[in-house]
Amino acid sequence: MDGAPIYLDNAATTRPLDEVVAAMSRVQLESFGNPSSPHSFGKEPGKLLNDAREFMRGSLGAANAILTSGGTEADLLGILGAASAREPGKVIAAASDHPAILAQSSALEGLGHRMLSLPVSEHGDLQVDTLARHADQNLRVLAIMHGHNELGTLPALADLVALARKRAPDVHIHVDLVQSYGKIPFDLDAADVDSVAISAHKFHGPRGMGCLAVSSKARISPLQMGGGQEQGMRGGTENVAAAVAMAVAAEAALSKLVENARHCSKLCEIFLDQVQAKLPAVARLGNPERRLPHLLSLRLPGVVAETCQQRMDQRGVAFSTGSACHGGESENHVLAAIGLEAAAAREVMRFSFSKLNTAAEAQTAARLLIEEATTLLELSAGLS
């Protein structure tokens, strides 16, 4: 290992802040009562839970917030829950969307709905003219990824929403905000969408906690019944400590949102400029104008990303070759959706920064990547 380890996989998960861990520990020890209990041990946890939920609701400009186990459950409730409350029809997503969205296809079919995974642009986003060919009065739910987890592309959200509302006024529009929340501004009401999914561990909060923020007009059927928690929308005793910790992480992210975005964008620029100076064939994927500030998706022609990742990991630099949520996929569906053939897809790497990273780390990681990629290219040339 060359020096201290460098973590550049923040799109997969982030290191929890010290104050987040402290808040979670404090609540676990001092406010351990069931928030639904009527006695004195339940009052303080109940208040803490309501305060955390209200903070998350307000931070998104929503009418309500339903606490969940994370982004996947929030996506499930926002899409499948909305479809369950409607007559059978179309549910539209993009072919490049997260597995948390696309994997709902069979469950939707069981409800009589038909899920359409529409083709996307070379940047991974759903185009308005593509949506226009499929959106009609039968559209029940439209799912949109706001900030692609592998490519960094931001959608043309306002245009997509306007078209969907025009074609199907009663459509439920769900936005996966997992990669965007705490990094760029977002207001659910101003965006005219019905639900938004977030996940705490993507912005230095705890794992296993997220929420679905909803509008006042959203119609969603619960998927997890139980004791009536979360206004009857999600049964099960709430994780008070994690909810409080999520609110602490959210406040930290939002209070310095512009500063953090500028910092991460600068780190991406430092890293990319250094790499391109030595490896001019490298290409950045994703929309060049509409993109997340912290995510850098690169293709290095001739370099197998997985091999480079393993060699870099031995030298103390962690990054990914795609989403950590792909599991055992034999083919990366995102890269296939944007038109990359299998050989080219194997050359794609994702570097994602956070406010905890430094310019020195970006420079060191870029230098090590250049060294390893150059070695691999030389080895490949020697074998050919």
**How are strands ordered across the β-sheet holding 114-118?**
64-68, 210-214, 195-199, 172-176, 139-145, 90-94, 114-118
On the question of pLDDT at 384 being above 60, the answer is no
State the chain's maximal CA–CA distance in angstroms: 75
Would you call 325 a catalytic residue per the annotation?
A: yes
- Percent pLDDT > 90 in the chain is 90
On the question of pLDDT at 367 being above 60, the answer is yes
Decide whether 6-15+257-383 matches 18-254 in CATH topology.
no
Q: What is the DSSP letter of 291?
A: B
pLDDT confidence of residue 327: 52
Report the alpha-carbon distance of residue 140 to residue 176 in Å, rounded: 17
**At 332, phi and psi to the nearest 5?**
-70, 110
Mean pLDDT rounded to a whole number for the chain: 95
Residue 371, token pair as written in the block? 């060294």
pLDDT confidence of residue 112: 97
pLDDT confidence of residue 383: 66
Under 8 Å between Cβ of 212 and 176: no
Under 8 Å between Cβ of 267 and 357: yes
Total-model pTM: 0.94
Domain residue spans in the chain?
A: 6-15+257-383, 18-254
pLDDT confidence of residue 227: 84
Residue 189, token pair as written in the block? 């009401």
Q: Average of pLDDT values for 190-211?
A: 98
> Within 13 A of 21's CA, how many CA atoms are on the CB side?
5
Report the alpha-carbon distance of residue 262 to residue 373 in Å, rounded: 28
Residues 43-95 pLDDT 10s: 999 999 999 999 999 999 999 999 999 999 999 999 999 999 999 999 999 99
In three-state secondary structure terms, 295 is strand
**Which residue's structure tokens are 């101003």?**
190
> Within 13 A of 51's CA, how many CA atoms are on the CB side?
14
Report the alpha-carbon distance of residue 247 to residue 237 in Å, rounded: 18
pLDDT confidence of residue 55: 98
| Residue from 175, 161, 156 nearest 100 by CA | 175
The b/e string for 105-144 (b: 16+ C-beta within 10 A; e otherwise) is: bebbeeeebebbbbebbebbbbbeebbeeebeeebbbbbb
On the question of pLDDT at 153 being above 70, the answer is yes
CATH architecture of the domain 6-15+257-383 equals: Alpha-Beta Complex (3.90)
Report the alpha-carbon distance of residue 108 to residue 142 in Å, rounded: 13
On the question of pLDDT at 35 being above 80, the answer is yes
**Looking at domain 18-254, does it have CATH number 3.40.640.10?**
yes
Confidence at 328, pLDDT banded by 50, 70, 90: low
Report the alpha-carbon distance of residue 201 to residue 70 in Å, rounded: 8
Q: Average of pLDDT values for 170-187?
A: 97
> Within 13 A of 183's CA, how many CA atoms are on the CB side?
32
Q: One of 211, 264, 308, 325 is an active-site residue; which one?
A: 325
- Fill in the amino acid letter for 17: L
Confidence at 379, pLDDT banded by 50, 70, 90: confident
Confidence at 237, pLDDT banded by 50, 70, 90: confident
Length of the chain: 384
pLDDT confidence of residue 1: 66
